[in-house]
Structure 1
Amino acid sequence: MKNIIYVLIITLAFTACQKEKKIGYVDNGVVINDYQEKKDIEAKYQTKEEAFNKKADSIGKAFQLEVQQTQLDARKSSQTKAQELMQGLQQKQQVLQQQIQFEQQQLAQAFQSEIDSLIIKVKDFVKDYGKKNNYTYILGTSDAAASVMYATEENNLTQVILDALNAEYKK
């Protein structure tokens, strides 16, 4: 009986001494999508994409004019010369398509690189926020991957983190 009392007292002492864990969660999708820096990156690349599309359209129109002129020239030429003209045109078309595709890929890679850097920046910010505010855990959730199935609204740090990120970005 004495042993049971000692065990209960020791158990009670250990549980009383344990520090309560501070846990919060963040909706990753909201933080990333509503972060002003991400919106600015998207706007920058939207402008670049529009300029690229205008350039591609311009190249396409110029090539179409060249096709029409080459077809006229081919009609006036011998069959051998016409075939050479058309082959040259096909090669030029392939080169132009490859160039446009390469520039598209470069644009997409640059955008993805900036977004990846932004995500790392947000993760580091959340980590620092957690340390500064004595959080044991800050969980991430989103509609696509709901790792937090239930939490009270007081544990939702989404807006707090988003406001702090945007404030830091404005500096």
Structure 2
Amino acid sequence: MKKIISVFAFVLVLVSCQEQQKIAFVDNAEVVSKFNKKVNFEKKFQAKIEKFNKKADSFQQAIQIEAQLFQAKSASMSKKKAETEYQALLQKKQMQDYQLRAEEQSLQAEGQKEIDTLVKQVKAFVKDYGKNNGYTYILGANDAGSVMYGAEGNDITEVIIEALNAENKDEE
């Protein structure tokens, strides 16, 4: 009888020591996409992309006009002069292409750097939010399937989005 009581007491101690864990999940992609700083960045960045595209188009048009002028006057030039001007035109086109590629890569790098910074900010916010609100775990749901299923009551995506945007309202 003593053994049964001591085993029962031991089981009771183990059960009472376990605390309830608070677990939730967020849709990572939705949080980042609805983060106001990201939305505002994308609007500003879109303007940069449009400016770049206009510049690229104007470069293309300018070189096309030069090519047409060259073609019109090349018939009256000596073969050597035509070849020299053609090479100069070709070199100019290559330089423009190189410049545009470099600008495009720079623009892509700038965009990726900003997105990475925003993702880090969201992760840090979710971590702090979890600590401050007593969560044991906040899981990230995404297309890769880290959360295959979660009860709607445990989805705090909208709460996180609202809190994140409220905290960053002054920075917009």
Q: Normalising by structure 1, report the TM-score.
A: 0.94
Corresponding letter in the other structure for 2:146: S
**What is aligned with 2:32?**
32
**What is aligned with 1:100?**
100
Percent identical across equivalent pairs? 48
Which sections of structure 2, spanning at least 5 residues, go unmatched?
A: none
> In the aligned structure 2, how far is the partner of 1:152 from the partner of 1:65?
63
**What is aligned with 1:127?**
127
1:98-146 superposed Cα distances (whole Å, 9 cap, x missing partner) = 111111111111011000000000000000000001111000002x122
Secondary structure of 1:115's match? helix
> In the aligned structure 1, how far is the partner of 2:106 from the partner of 2:40?
19
Q: Which moves more between the two structures, 116-125 or 50-59? A: 50-59
How far did residue 4 of structure 1 move? 3.9
> In the aligned structure 1, how far is the partner of 2:169 from the partner of 2:52?
29
Q: Normalising by structure 2, report the TM-score.
A: 0.93
Secondary structure of 2:150's match? coil
Secondary structure of 2:25's match? strand
Q: How many residues align?
A: 170
> In the aligned structure 2, how far is the partner of 1:99 from the partner of 1:49?
15
> In the aligned structure 1, how far is the partner of 2:28 from the partner of 2:97?
38
**What is aligned with 2:113?**
113
Runs of 4+ in 1 over 3 A off after TM superposition: none
Cα RMSD over matched residues?
1.3
